[in-house]
């Protein structure tokens, strides 16, 4: 007797189809079963979902399309996973199918039954080919007193833990030990460790492998991130889903991995904005980690087990810090660096008192020369790649404007191109001004390429202890584009080939540079007065993190320095930075946020619109606001007028947004849920003409 199954497929929220579709099947399918079903003329991957096994209204058993087959050899996705996906779809206002299918490896969609069977066989074979685990644990270093105290306190924490530990305080060592304990607690236990950037996964994987591969086998540690090939991603996913992988290391996408034995989630550098997705379902992997740990724990409660979540950072997000203030998270602290090294001393350079036009102030240059002569390394940060942010003509008003965006194209001197960093539009640098023919077109402002060039010149006479001239290198998205180039550059730095590294914020994150004793941020001011209220929080985190790169070798730590060039040395942020006082900084920021009703004291969402013209984008948003007048909870939310984005045109698309705010997260959620059908139904919003797309961004990280 045929039965009915609810199945989710990748239908976007605007398709107007329900959250699940009904299909006929010969056998009743357990929720979570992966299936192939017809959709229109296509055959697609779907997931059998929790739902009534009765025919949809108006259909009988002779109607409806049949399930074509289940994916054999794969156990159903478990209830906690389905709950995570349902929650994410609901909270971030996307369709269930969109979130569920995006959470699965793309290759799973394309393989037919025979291919999948071959894949699973191969997977089993490789697993068998790994050297047998010895079962012998690798001895860990004895914990420091601070690590010891944290390790003692962690098992007693009922909810999420915020591990507030200075850079170099040994947080990773705590994760390793907690992983060890979790894996030992149950033969099926799994651990998920997340990092914000793909670049950080290789070194993390190396550390986890070193500690656990012998004991649990080579296949027990896998990575999961968007830099992997589709085949690699499928391999990691299958390993996690089958339980063969005991430890999954990954970027934000890993939060959706199928982990039937999940017992511990670690979110390292939890403050990092990369945890927030910027397209599709704009989810926060950190927030979902907290949610996931809760539902996994509920599912495990009957067994007397649970899934713990640890958020780690030297500069926590104000959301997590506030949650700890309120007692919702347990805050554990490790203020001291391993080996007793102190954090670098802050040196502010008041640019008001420096020679005009100097990009590197003379005292900073002198300090760098001294360090190089002693065989130490320097790190110079500038958040702007290329040679100069704009080329400009002296004789007329011409500037290297991008024809497709409201932004300038950046001058890259090495390959003599003008490149738009927003749409990618690239052309050769013109010989003369395209408008007036003037031959004198000049770069304005400085990027990493130019600073690298200038420093190479300024330091050319400086000798290292081995008598060689000082070497300057650069690391940013341009120099690391090729596969393996980042690793090579890091190796050059570690081996001491390079004395000065110039780079964007990418170099400030996580890498363990042993011999760096001086870090300099040469143009940090933009963030002090940015319109985005999160800019100071970001700047503070970046500078603290950059400072954390210096003096990791205790022998040199006493003398390490963090230099910041600024036109506003009196800014309060620097006073906190000088004392390495994150709690003081956070308290001041939170007081400001509370006074203004901003997150985490209120909740926000953005309605974003892309259109052919700015008028159309704004008209849609404003009409959407008007159409909401009668909606439930309308009186508990504030809708602001539509405004253009800071960069309002990208690739010939005009962009605008409308801020929605509420003192109550629940009220905001209910309002948005009621608003969504109106937004999807073009007829109810007259301004929709000329609109290309719209999206809702819940808990946006940039305004
Ligand atoms: P964090 O993640 O907080 O920046 P790490 O865990 O990377 O810090 O530790 C910093 C350095 O200290 C690493 O080189 C690590 O090997 C070392 N380390 C960590 N814990 C200990 C310990 N208990 N004893 C000795 N060295 C340690
Ligand atoms: Zn000109
Ligand atoms: Zn452009």
pLDDT at position 556 is 55
The answer on 555 and 490 residing in a single domain is yes
Domain presence at residue 138: no
Q: Which ligand is nearest to the CA of 394?
A: 2
Least confident of 17-21, 39-43, 241-245, 390-394: 17-21
pLDDT of 555 over the 70 cut: no
Distance CA 266, CA 161 (A): 10
Domain presence at residue 530: yes
Give 198's pLDDT tier (boundaries 50, 70, 90): confident
The answer on 327 and 189 residing in a single domain is yes
pLDDT of 136 over the 90 cut: no
pLDDT of 206 over the 90 cut: yes
| Nearest-atom index, ligand 1, CA of 165 | 3
pLDDT of 55 over the 90 cut: no
Over residues 385-402, the mean pLDDT reads 94
The answer on 265 and 291 residing in a single domain is yes
Domain presence at residue 236: yes
Over residues 537-543, the mean pLDDT reads 92
Over residues 51-74, the mean pLDDT reads 78
Could you tell which of 146, 148, 166, 170 is best to mutate to test the pocket of ligand 1, judged by most ligand atoms within 8 Å of the CB? 170
Among candidate residues 128, 157, 178, the one where a domain is terminated: 128
The answer on 415 and 466 residing in a single domain is no
Task: Render pLDDT for 156-190 as a digit per residue (tens, 0 to 9).
Answer: 999 999 999 998 899 999 999 999 999 999 999 99
| CB of residue 165 inside a 6 A radius of ligand 1 | yes
Question: What residues have CB less than 8 Å from 611, skipping those under 6 apart?
Answer: 617, 620, 653, 654, 656, 690, 691, 692
Q: Which ligand is nearest to the CA of 397?
A: 2
Over residues 558-583, the mean pLDDT reads 91
Distance CA 270, CA 326 (A): 18
480 token code pair? 């690391």
Ligand 2 midpoint to CA 441 (Å): 7
Domain CATH code at residue 150: 3.40.50.300
Least confident of 57-66, 224-233, 242-251, 357-366: 57-66
Give 511's pLDDT tier (boundaries 50, 70, 90): low
Give 210's pLDDT tier (boundaries 50, 70, 90): very high
Over residues 670-687, the mean pLDDT reads 85
Ligand 3 midpoint to CA 701 (Å): 23
pLDDT at position 255 is 98
The answer on 400 and 365 residing in a single domain is no
- Tell me the backbone φ, ψ of residue 695, rounded to 5 degrees: -155, 150
Work out the number of other CB atoms within 10 angstroms of the CB of residue 681: 13
| Nearest-atom index, ligand 1, CA of 174 | 6
| Nearest-atom index, ligand 1, CA of 334 | 3
Over residues 52-56, the mean pLDDT reads 70
pLDDT of 340 over the 90 cut: no
Domain CATH code at residue 656: 3.30.70.100
The answer on 164 and 294 residing in a single domain is yes
Closest residue CA from atom 25 of ligand 1: 141
Burial of 269 (0-12, 13-18, 19+ CB in 10 A): buried
Domain presence at residue 133: no
pLDDT at position 64 is 78
Among candidate residues 93, 128, 163, the one where a domain is terminated: 128
Nearest to 280 by CA among 101, 459, 469: 101
Ligand 3 midpoint to CA 696 (Å): 24
pLDDT at position 451 is 95
pLDDT of 557 over the 60 cut: no
In DSSP notation, 328-397 reads: SSEEEEE-SPGGGPPPPEEEEEEGGGS-TT-SS-HHHHHHHHHHHHTT-EEEEE-S--SSBSEEEESSSS
Over residues 142-163, the mean pLDDT reads 96
CB-CB contact of 45 with 27 (8 Å)? no
Task: Render pLDDT for 399-447 as a digit per residue (tens, 0 to 9).
Answer: 999 999 999 999 999 899 999 999 999 999 999 999 999 999 999 999 9
pLDDT at position 558 is 59
The answer on 346 and 328 residing in a single domain is no
Over residues 335-352, the mean pLDDT reads 88
Nearest to 28 by CA among 65, 59, 1: 1
Domain presence at residue 135: no
Over residues 231-251, the mean pLDDT reads 96
Over residues 351-365, the mean pLDDT reads 93
Give 464's pLDDT tier (boundaries 50, 70, 90): very high
pLDDT at position 687 is 62
| Nearest-atom index, ligand 1, CA of 167 | 4
Give the domain extent around 162: 145-338
Question: What residues have CB less than 8 Å from 564, skipping those under 6 apart?
Answer: 346, 347, 348, 349, 520, 521, 524, 543, 574, 577
Domain CATH code at residue 118: 3.40.1440.60
Nearest to 477 by CA among 434, 511, 506, 497: 506
Q: Which ligand is nearest to the CA of 418?
A: 3
The answer on 120 and 189 residing in a single domain is no
pLDDT of 114 over the 90 cut: no
Give 322's pLDDT tier (boundaries 50, 70, 90): very high
The answer on 181 and 293 residing in a single domain is yes
Nearest to 16 by CA among 620, 690, 677, 687: 677
Domain presence at residue 703: no
Least confident of 81-85, 441-445, 556-560: 556-560
Task: Render pLDDT for 271-321 as a digit per residue (tens, 0 to 9).
Answer: 999 999 998 899 999 999 999 999 999 999 999 999 999 999 999 999 999
pLDDT at position 682 is 72
The answer on 638 and 510 residing in a single domain is no
**Residues surrounding ion ligand 3 at CB below 5 Å:** 402, 404-405, 420, 422-423, 425
Distance CA 420, CA 409 (A): 4
Domain presence at residue 679: yes
How many domains does the structure of the chain reveal? 5
Q: Taking phi first (over 0 means left), then psi (-120 to 50 degrees means alpha), and beta for anything else, what does residue 277 get?
A: beta
CB-CB contact of 486 with 504 (8 Å)? no
Give 508's pLDDT tier (boundaries 50, 70, 90): confident
Closest residue CA from atom 9 of ligand 1: 170
The pTM (predicted TM-score) of the whole model is: 0.93
| CB of residue 510 inside a 6 A radius of ligand 1 | no
* Chain centre distance of CA 395: 44
| CB of residue 171 inside a 6 A radius of ligand 1 | yes
Across 12-16, 340-344, 382-386, 635-639, which has the greatest mean pLDDT? 635-639
pLDDT at position 510 is 58
pLDDT of 477 over the 90 cut: no
* Average pLDDT for the chain: 90
The answer on 494 and 347 residing in a single domain is yes
Domain presence at residue 134: no
| Nearest-atom index, ligand 1, CA of 548 | 4
Least confident of 230-234, 267-271, 513-517, 550-554: 550-554
The answer on 171 and 91 residing in a single domain is no
| CB of residue 313 inside a 6 A radius of ligand 1 | no
pLDDT of 357 over the 90 cut: no
């Amino acid at each position: 007797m045929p039965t009915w199954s609810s199945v989710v497929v990748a239908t976007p929220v605007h398709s107007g189809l329900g959250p699940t579709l009904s299909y006929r099947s010969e056998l009743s399918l357990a929720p979570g079963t992966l299936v192939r079903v017809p959709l229109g003329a296509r055959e697609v991957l779907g997931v059998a979902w929790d739902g009534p096994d009765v025919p949809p209204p108006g259909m009988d058993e002779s109607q409806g399309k049949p399930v074509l087959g289940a994916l054999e050899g794969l156990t159903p996705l478990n209830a906690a996973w389905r709950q995570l996906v349902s929650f994410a779809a609901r909270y971030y206002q996307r369709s269930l199918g969109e979130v569920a299918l995006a959470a699965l490896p793309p290759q799973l969609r394309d393989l037919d039954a025979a291919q999948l069977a071959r894949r699973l066989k191969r997977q089993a074979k490789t697993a068998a080919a790994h050297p047998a685990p010895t079962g012998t644990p690798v001895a860990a270093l004895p914990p420091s007193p601070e690590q010891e105290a944290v390790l003692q306190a962690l098992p007693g924490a009922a909810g999420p833990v915020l591990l507030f530990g200075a850079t170099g305080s040994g947080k990773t060592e705590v994760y390793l030990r907690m992983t060890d304990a979790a894996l030992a607690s149950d033969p099926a236990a799994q651990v998920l460790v997340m990092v914000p950037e793909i670049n950080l996964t290789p070194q993390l994987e190396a550390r986890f492998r070193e500690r656990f591969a012998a004991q649990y086998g080579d296949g027990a540690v896998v990575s999961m991130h968007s830099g992997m090939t589709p085949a690699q991603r499928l391999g990691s996913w299958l390993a996690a889903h089958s339980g063969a992988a005991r430890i999954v290391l990954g970027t934000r996408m890993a939060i959706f991995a199928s982990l039937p034995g999940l017992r511990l989630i670690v979110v390292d550098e939890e403050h990092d904005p990369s945890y927030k997705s910027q397209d599709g379902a704009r989810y926060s992997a950190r927030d979902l980690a907290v949610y996931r740990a809760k539902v996994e724990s509920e599912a495990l409660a009957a067994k007397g087990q649970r899934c713990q979540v640890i958020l780690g950072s030297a500069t926590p997000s104000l959301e997590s810090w506030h949650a700890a203030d309120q007692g919702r998270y347990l805050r554990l602290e490790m203020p001291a660096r391993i080996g007793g090294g102190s954090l670098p001393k802050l040196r502010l350079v008041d640019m008001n008192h420096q020679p005009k036009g100097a990009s590197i102030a003379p005292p900073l240059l002198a300090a760098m020369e001294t360090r190089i002569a002693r065989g130490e390394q320097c790190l110079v940060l500038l958040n702007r790649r290329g040679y100069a942010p704009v080329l400009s003509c002296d004789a007329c008003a011409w500037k290297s404007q991008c024809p497709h965006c409201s932004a300038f194209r950046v001058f890259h001197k090495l390959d003599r191109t003008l490149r738009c960093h927003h749409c990618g539009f690239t052309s050769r640098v013109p010989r003369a001004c395209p408008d007036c023919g003037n031959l004198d077109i000049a770069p304005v402002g400085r990027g990493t390429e130019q600073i690298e060039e200038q420093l190479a010149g300024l330091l050319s006479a400086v000798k290292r202890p081995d008598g060689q001239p000082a070497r300057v290198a650069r690391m940013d998205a341009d120099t690391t584009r090729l596969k393996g180039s980042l690793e090579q550059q890091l190796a050059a730095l570690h081996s001491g080939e390079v004395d000065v590294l110039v780079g964007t914020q990418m170099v400030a994150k996580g890498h363990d540079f042993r011999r760096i004793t001086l870090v300099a941020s040469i143009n940090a001011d933009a963030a002090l007065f940015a319109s985005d209220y999160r800019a100071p929080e970001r700047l503070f985190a970046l500078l603290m993190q950059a400072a954390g790169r210096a003096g990791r070798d205790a022998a040199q730590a006493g003398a390490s320095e963090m230099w910041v060039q600024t036109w506003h040395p009196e800014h309060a942020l620097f006073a906190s930075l000088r004392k390495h006082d994150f709690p003081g900084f956070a308290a001041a920021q939170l007081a400001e946020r509370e006074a203004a009703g901003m997150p985490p004291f209120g909740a926000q969402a953005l309605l974003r619109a892309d259109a052919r013209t700015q008028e159309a984008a704004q008209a849609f948003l404003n009409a959407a606001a008007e159409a909401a007048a009668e909606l439930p909870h309308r009186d508990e939310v504030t809708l602001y007028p539509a405004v253009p984005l800071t960069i309002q045109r990208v690739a010939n698309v005009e962009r605008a947004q409308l801020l929605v705010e509420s003192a109550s997260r629940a009220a905001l959620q209910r309002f948005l849920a009621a608003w969504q059908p109106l937004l999807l139904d073009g007829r109810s919003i007259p301004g929709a003409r000329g609109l290309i797309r719209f999206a809702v961004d819940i808990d946006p990280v940039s305004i």
